[in-house]
Each structure stands twice: as structure tokens, then as C-alpha cells.
Structure 1
């Protein structure tokens, strides 16, 4: 497959006072063949990047429209990842990080963020439910490969990064949490840190599934076969208790048990947190992003 990439400067120059105080934003476009097409990413470089020579860890975030700028977001809400990193660095809780926010593809988001191995393992009746929601072919494997084998090498060439898995994270929420977990499991030598936030483990709405469907069983089987030993990796999982997240506690409990059975130790190798009163939306995720980043990158 042929890949064409372009790196374009998008915002304030590195020499401006604003860039020094708040970091600097670049834009990156990756044009790929089918089935992914063009991918747009916004790269945030922390304050001091242009004046120094140090190398930085990198965190890749899904739903990039909702990471930095409210005007680009779907609901005028953002994670504020640049502000979270800046706060944590000032408090001495983490080293500075580069944040790469990858835009979702709009209507194709569901099928691009869908863990393909779970689709393949599902029964025909369950796959039919997934197919109806996806309205096209599942492309999770191609997307993970794009992140691991094309976008990350581009970032590593363009910026002073710490390239090892221990300094490379991936974070997403809801379906973005699914694909972040999948990338973490599928590419353990690339992504050594993962934040799976308000993850929609059931892959679709419960009412849409056949009565005998056990989607969480698909996850249990997949994690047992593929999660592997910790090898220094860290996995964060969480959920709220309101709106869509009100369904998540029993689903997350089964995932926690599967991770534990794989030999991972809670609060050492993985975290699983419940946030009382938190809804399924960006303001709630922004409110706990400090917790997530501090635990993953301490």
C-alpha cells in the first residue's frame, strides 16, 4: 500500500510569546489507500519544545476534533489535553508530553473504531447487528496498523520523541476506548500505555443484540489469548455512573476480571475507576484526564 504524508504548520510560530506559554500546534495529514483514506491529526508540542533538545513521550488520542479546540468539537466540549499536560508538568507529576489528536472520520467512525478480531469471532446473528450499525466494512485492523506503522513513524521522524513503548500512550473514550484498548493489545511493542475511558465494551446498544449474545465473552476470550504479560505496560480503564455510563459497571467488572486472570495486578499494572455522577461526555472526561495521564505516565 502506498502512503503519502504532509506535515503543515498550522498555528502560532514557535517564537511567539503565546507559543512559549501554551505550547505549539502543528497539523499533519496522512493520505492512505482504501479503506481508511485521509487522516488528519493535530500535534501539540509542549511549552519549551522549540527552545530545548530533550526528547518527549507521546500520547495519541482518538476523536481529535474533541481534544483541543471547542469550535472544532461536536458538542462544543473538549478534553483540554494541552492544559492537562501543562498542569501536571507544573505540579511535577509527569514529564512533558507531545499530544497527537487524530480526527475521527465522521460517519465511518463506528467501523473504524471497531476491534476487528471481535467482529470476526462473533456469531453471524451478532455480526448482523454490527453490520447494521457499521453501514460498511469493519476497518479496525487497518486503522491500528495506520497508527502503529505509518503515523507513529512520521511523528518520530518529525519530532524529538522517546520512541519506546513505555513512553508511547493511546487514549480514547467510548468507541475510541475500544480501539485504544485494541491497539494496546494488538501492538504491545508500540503502545505501552493505554487509557480506555467510558469504554463501550458491548460494541453496540444492549437492546439491539439477540437475547443469547455474549459480547463480553468475546472480550474475555480475546484478552485471555492476546493480552499477554504486563512487561511494564500500564492500562487505565474507567466509567461514570450517569447517562450511557450508567450501564457500564457490570460490563467493566467482567473486563477487570479478565485482565486479572491474565496476571495483571490491579493498581500496579491496570487501574479501573468509577467516577460517581460523571456522564458520558467530554466535560466529564476532561475532569479526570489529569488522573489518567498522571497514572499512565507518572
Structure 2
């Protein structure tokens, strides 16, 4: 069964799958949040999903949909580990009111802390590595000495959860456009990687991706690191048509973002080679910006306007 046929089957199956929704999630400054505390899945561990609706949300209007990773970091700094947030509700509300972007909802998908790297690391580029490189990468450590991976790479399963379980639920429950031209995905760091991967693995589902501070090294060292080359080769062979898709990249140059400038330049060459222009692709550099939610919040209006501009 192909991807689209399977998607259609699951869409019918979700008619009897109605997760319990509450308003007990993060606080927002504008709009409202619906919260599913434990969205169950046959592919990945259950997790919280929050759906942000803009002010004046109405069943009489059709909305675009933006899927965002690391959902616990999006709305409420009072609940985040570092007391920072993306400020998605504030930025989205301002842009909608100014009519700079079309109305949309945000589906915030919480990460599972111990599985974040395993779920967000693009699986097919990983599987293209030699067995020795795979094992070496699985043993990689963070800068603080802790292990990067607690499990094998399972990002293909994570994307199946998004496409075959979560999206059908959103399409059934909310007044949204369901086509790829109104369905987008966004994340930062490892979330940037999985956002690009989602669009390339499911180009008929996601019409655009925004990848902020994309973690092209995959791990936390560049010494004998085969990962960027694997990503480049995958990109070069899987980018969808620039006539039908959009993709956004950016990075700063401080803290972890200091690793990215040269790697992003190689990605940009691949974008040009595959026919992408300023109409359907942007890469921005933000000197002085660090790898943090505060930095992503400051420039969130740029990718939102690029993907959802009127």
C-alpha cells in the first residue's frame, strides 16, 4: 500500500478515535489552546499535543495548519526548563491582525526528552552510513558528557505518527485546509532537521518547512563526523520541486549556532543546484544570535511570513 492510500485508510479509522481534549495546557497571551495530554500512537510513545487557535477562530473559516516540534517550548515560559518560549501565540496574532499572513492554527507536539534525538534525527541519511559510523555515532556524547542517543533512530516512525495519526485527527476535528499548500512544519535545531526531513519524505503532505538553527552536525563534534555529508547527499536526491514547495533556513553565530555557518553554506549550494530561488527558499544569518528560544522568538515573524504570507 502506498503512502497516500494508507493515509486515506487511517483518515477513516480516526472517525472513531477521539482523544480527550482539555483547556488545562500552557497559558497563552492570545487565542486559545486545546490540549490532549496523552495522544496515543501505534508508532511512538504517547505525548501531549496542544492546538493553538487564533482569536476569533470559527468553524465558518478554513485555516492553514503549522505543525511544530518541541511543543512544550512554544507558548508558556513559566513551564519551560529554561524559562524561555517561542512566543508563538503573540507573534502569530500580530501577523494575522496585520494581515501579513493568512489565518492558521498551530499543532504543538511535545518531545519525549530521552527520545528527542532518536525521533528527530533523519533516519534515511543515518541508515546510509557505514555500520562502524552508526555505532560510533550511537556512542557520541553531548558537551556535558551525557549520551546523545538513548535509543536507535526512529524518526520514520515519528513521521508516520504525524502523517497517519495526528494529521487525520486535526483534519477531522478542526476547520482546516487539508492540502499540502496549507500544511507546514517547523522546528529548531534537531527540530529543524526533522522538519526538512518531513517535507522531503512526505512532499504531498507538507508544502513547506521552516528550519531554524538547523543542527547539521547531528551530534556535538565535527571531528571525523560523517553526518553532514550524509545529509547533503540525501537533500540532493530528495528535495521536492521548487515549483510546489517552500523551505526556510536560518542560524545565528553564537553558542551552538557557531557550528552552523559553513555547513549551511553547503546546503545552500544544494538548494541552488536543485532550482530553488528566493521565491521558494530563504536562508538568513543573524549575527550575535545564540541557540535559544529567545533568539528564535525574536525572528519567528520571518519564517511565518515566508510560509504563510498573504
CA–CA distance in structure 2, aligned partners of residues 115 and 289 of structure 1: 24
Displacement, 1:131?
1.5
Shift, 1:229, TM fit:
1.4
Match of 2:201 among 186, 189, 192: 186
- Name 2:250's counterpart in structure 1: 238
The answer to whether the 8 A contact 2:48-2:109 is kept is yes
Deviation for aligned residue 1:111: 0.3
On the 8 A contact 1:11/1:24 being kept in 2, the answer is no
Q: 1:117 is matched with which residue?
A: 124
| Offset of residue 224 of structure 1 | 1.8
Asked if the contact 2:211/2:249 (under 8 Å) is kept, the reply is yes
Cα distance in 2 between the residues matched to 1:229 and 1:111 = 28
Report the CA distance between 1:72 and its aligned residue.
2.2
Question: 2:49 matched to 1:41?
Answer: yes
Cα distance, 1:24 vs structure 2: 1.4
Alignment correspondent of 1:9: 22
Structure 1: gaps spanning 5 or more residues: 13-17
Over the aligned positions, Cα root-mean-square deviation in angstroms equals 2.0
- Check the 8 A contact 2:249/2:282 in 1, yes or no: yes
Q: Runs of 5+ in structure 2 lacking a partner? A: 1-9, 140-147
Aligned to 1:15: none
Q: Which secondary structure does the structure 1 equivalent of 2:268 belong to?
A: helix
Distance in 2 of aligned mates of 1:95 and 1:228: 24
- TM superposition score normalised by structure 1: 0.91
* Contact 2:126/2:227 (8 A) holds in 1: no
Displacement of 1:11 after TM fit? 4.7
Distance across 2 between alignment mates of 1:124 and 1:33: 28
Residue 169 of structure 1 aligns to a residue in which SS? strand
Contact 2:218 2:228 in 1 (8 A): no
For the 8 Å contact 2:42–2:161, the answer to whether it is kept is no
Determine whether 1:291 maps to 2:296: no
Which residue is equivalent to 1:129?
136
* TM-score, with length taken from structure 2: 0.87
| 1:129 Cα offset (Å) | 3.0
Deviation, 1:5, is: 5.0
232-241 vs 217-226, which deviates more? 217-226
Provide the rounded CA distance (Å) in 2 between the counterparts of 1:5 and 1:125: 44
Residue by residue, what CA displacement relative to the aligned partner does 1:119-174 show, whole Å, maximum 9, x if unpaired?
10012232123322312121100001111111011001000001111111110000
SS in structure 1 of the partner of residue 260 of structure 2: helix
Match of 1:92 in 2: 99
Deviation at 1:283, TM superposition (A): 0.3
Separation in structure 2 between the aligned mates of residue 273 and residue 290 of structure 1, nearest angstrom:
13
Matched, 1:278 2:289: yes
**Paired residues, number:** 286
SS in 2 for 1:8: coil
Q: Distance in 1 between matches of 2:289 and 2:307?
A: 21
Q: Which of residues 148, 156, 160 is equivalent to 1:145?
A: 160
